[in-house]
Amino acid sequence: MKALVLDEYNQLNYRDFPEPEIHSGEVLIEIKACGICGSDVHGMDGSTGRRKPPLVMGHEASGVIIETGSDVKNWKTGDRVTFDSTVYPLNDWFTLKGHYNLSNNRQVLGVSPGEYRRHGAFAERLAVPQHILHRIPENVSFVEAAMVEPIAVAAHAVNVSGLKPGNSAMVAGAGMVGVFVVQLLKLFGANPVVVIDIDHKKLKLAHEFGADFTFNPKEKDIDERILQLTKSRGFDLTFEVVGITETVQTCITNTRKGGTVVLVGNLSPEIQFPLQKVVTSEITVQGSCAIKGEYELALDLLAAKKVDVSKLVSAVAPLSEGAEWFKRLYEKEPGLNKVILIPDK
């Protein structure tokens, strides 16, 4: 089969690749669409340390089952499916406690951090365990289904925040997951929802996705203007969706006493942390890791047209052109959001 392979850092090749092996509890999927995630773009140059070559990346995907293993039940050839980005064991202690996203032996599709290598979906075919599959509703396209993973990541962040209707919220970072956090916050009753980003085009997009107010942190008197929106208390909830010192500190600074900061972004492995502010304000710092059962919610929202992905898909391109699209994303081409790759016909 053909695949887009990271053979060396910053070297993606569209080439022949071994067919995936299918085990008894797995299905073989003919990939129909796979989105380029920001983590793939950052991983391409080795900066994250989580995509060691050679590797087929890609974890935001959809397709059709073309073969089933001997132990597969309730799934058949022809089923339209998407799947969790995390392959997790069913007998792990954390999985049994309802936290499969934290299981000790979890593996992420399209990732190779050193302790494992799990090839992903930038390929014509992929084998995955049946327990991570989700059926695609009839009125949801393969391209839309390839966007389920970032929606589910955003939904998990909102879930762990403890959001209550009427809570004020701020989102730092209006990238893909950030704008979905905004849309879900509005959908589930947050008010107001404020977004901070240094990119004015991303701020415009955040506004289209429901943000009540948007700010560039480089503007003058921004802290005072934001504080006025919360009756000078600070936000009930803040969401950091970048993963760097500056945005984490911005979130903590603008969270009210007794409020909650949800950390979603993890671009930097370490940051400077304002410990005294957190302690003296009794701020809860909540990590949000991947997904824990939010795929079904994301698919239901797509089917009900309550979440819109059309404004975020910049291009649908052949897998053979993937290296060029990675380059354009890596170079931060203005206005370029999600790129979906589809296997060549």
Q: What is the pLDDT of residue 33?
A: 98
Q: Is 243 left (phi over 0), alpha (psi -120 to 50) or beta?
A: left
**Domain 151-287, CATH number (from 3.30.300.30, 3.30.420.40, 3.40.50.720, 3.40.50.300):** 3.40.50.720
Whole-number Å distance between alpha carbons of 48 and 43:
5
Q: Distance between CA 342 and CA 32 in Å, rounded?
A: 6
For 2-147+309-342, CATH number out of 3.10.150.10, 3.40.50.1820, 3.90.180.10, 3.50.50.60 equals 3.90.180.10
Q: How many CA atoms lie within 13 A of 127 on its CB side?
A: 14
The closest of 342, 294, 316 to 134, measured between CA atoms, is 294
User: Residue 124 CB: number of other CB atoms within 10 A?
Assistant: 18
| Residue 309 one-letter amino acid | V
| Residue 238: closest CA among 259, 218, 258 | 259
The first and second tokens of residue 135, run together, are: 């059926």
* DSSP annotation string for 106-164: -EETTBB-SS--B--SSBSEEEEEGGGEEEPPTTS-HHHHTTHHHHHHHHHHHHHHT--
148-190 pLDDT per residue, tens: 999 999 999 999 999 999 999 999 999 999 999 999 999 999 9
Strand, helix or coil for residue 252: helix
d(CA 122, CA 322): 9
Mean pLDDT rounded to a whole number for the chain: 96
pTM: 0.95
Residue 345's pLDDT is 81
pLDDT of residue 292: 96
Structure-block tokens of residue 127: 């084998």
Q: Cite the beta strand spans of the chain per DSSP E.
A: 2-8, 11-16, 26-35, 60-68, 80-83, 86-87, 107-108, 125-129, 133-135, 169-172, 193-196, 213-215, 235-240, 255-263, 284-287, 313-318, 338-342
Tell me which residue of 173, 166, 177, 221 sits closest to 195, measured CA to CA: 173
Q: Using N-to-C axis directions, what is the helix angle for 176-187 and 148-161, rounded to 10°?
A: 50
Q: What per-residue confidence (pLDDT) applies to 335?
A: 86
Give per-10-residue mean pLDDT for the chain (345 aa).
Answer: 98 98 98 96 91 98 98 98 97 96 96 96 98 98 97 98 98 96 98 96 96 93 88 97 96 97 92 97 98 97 95 97 98 93 94
Domain boundaries, the chain: 2-147+309-342, 151-287
Q: Is the dihedral of CA 240, 244, 249, 250 positive or negative?
A: negative
- Supply the pLDDT for residue 223: 83
* pLDDT given at position 87: 97
